[in-house]
Structure 1
Amino acid sequence: MSTRNIVLLVVAVGLLGFSLYRIMDWFRPADIQMVHTIRPNPRYDPARPARWGLARLPYLLTFSLDRSVRLTELRVVPSTWLATNKYASGVWHLVSDSNSVPVRAIVYGQPIRGMRPKVRGAWADPLEPDTDYTLLLETEAGPARYEFHTPPHLPVRR
């Protein structure tokens, strides 16, 4: 074989390999799978309103992830806000300054070690019943998005 044929063969094999890499997504990590549950909060006492923490929400909204991830940013935003402004701050917004711990579950409104509210002193707002929301996660593995709907009978803090 001549040098020209060897170079053409190497270029053809390289292009074939690159196209298979792009088409097949062999080396791309799998998407993060999430599910959520909403249940009554046993620590909620309407007679004694709490200013912050888990006792201030009448329900517990838990997001379960299929694997442990290290979060860099977390936002819960009403889907209608996100439709008009992709940078909406949301009803709960946490950021990581340095190292957040890997988490496999997230409880709405509960602090996560290594993360702080984007706005100092801000806490998670109660979710409205019968509303569509979007959970936006920024992780070391890339962004993740999860859309969920609150039930119509969700208790609202007054």
Structure 2
Amino acid sequence: MEDLKIKLAKIKWVLTDCDGVLTDGGVYYGEEGEYLKKFNVRDGMGVERLRTLVQVPTGIITGESSPSVVKRAEKLGITELNLGVKEKKGVVNRILKRYYLKTEELAYIGDDVNDLVVRSLVGLFFCPADALPQVKAEADVILTLDGGRGCFREMAEMIIKAKTD
């Protein structure tokens, strides 16, 4: 546990998948064919608390290109927004270089097999409680909360506690 606290305290940036982490992975379709996603406000508060209390920004990397994700990112002040990404490893490498980060200073939270490609590029890899078994097997931390139900906030509070204790 002490080793985890040391790793948590080193985090300077958090990257997250969207569907299955910030949402429960479900999609609502409207009459016109548009689709909507439901976000948890507790996770949004986690983004804000990371930024304001310990100066840890959050970025989103998602395979989807959804207007609702853009709106959510704008509301939360997330400027590192990567939509329609098919190859997450390249995006993470670019972020490491752009912000002069070391691997151990970057955390990532993901729920599906396409997130595993970044595992070797981050200091801590988190997953929601309802992540796929293959993802849980590779995660440093399996959170107790599901995607879209506060898992991001749970991770955020772990980082905040480690950096402020």
Q: Which has the larger radius of gyration?
A: 1
Fold match by TM threshold 0.5 = no
**Higher RCO by CA contacts (8 Å cutoff, separation 6 or greater):** 2
Which category describes the TM-score, using the shorter chain as reference length? under 0.3
Report the TM-score, using the length of structure 2 for normalisation.
0.27
Higher normalized strand content (fraction of residues)? 1
- TM-score w.r.t. the length of structure 1 is 0.28
Higher helix content, 1 or 2: 2
